[in-house]
Amino acid sequence: MKKFLYIPMVLGISILFVACGAKTPVNASKATTTTPTATTSTKIIYTQKLTYLPSYNGVQPTEYTPASKKSALATSTYTIKNTTDIKVFEDYQNILKKDGWTITDAKKHYSIFAKKDKHMASIIIQKSSKDVILQVTSK
């Protein structure tokens, strides 16, 4: 009688070990990691002044010049603390692509030109000691 009890117990425990040790499918890791940087969140935050343009990690502008009759382009300047120009360039380019922007031109680590629908953006990235200054001109 004990044999009949031990057989289902051994089978149950064996199934638990096999199920817990199963490998994840190859494609499962690709679906969750959009970029290898700090911008892995799935929600895109937009700037307050240029509501159609994704923000770089929720940073608020230090300066803003709205579009006017003289200039059809609005300009926002951001200061991003304790980072590198290379990281900002790669992260912001990924954020734009993720939001559906088409990168029309990019000069590694210092400028990105992008468009989406009727909007266009020119992004200039400048290194300033430990910080990065991000200047966005857009319409």
pLDDT tens for each residue of 13-39: 766 555 555 454 444 433 333 333 444
Residue 18 lies in a domain: no
Residue type (1 letter), 38: A
Residue 20 lies in a domain: no
Show the domain range for 96. 31-138
Token pair 């499962």: residue: 28
Overall pTM > 0.85: no
Residue 131 lies in a domain: yes
For the chain, what is the domain count?
Answer: 1
Contact 122, 138 (CB under 8 A): yes
Residue 57 lies in a domain: yes
pLDDT of 121 above 90: yes
Residue 86 lies in a domain: yes
Residue 11 lies in a domain: no
Contact 127, 85 (CB under 8 A): yes
CATH of the domain at 113: 3.30.530
Query: What strand order describes the sheet that includes 111-116?
Result: 63-65, 74-80, 131-138, 119-128, 111-116, 102-107
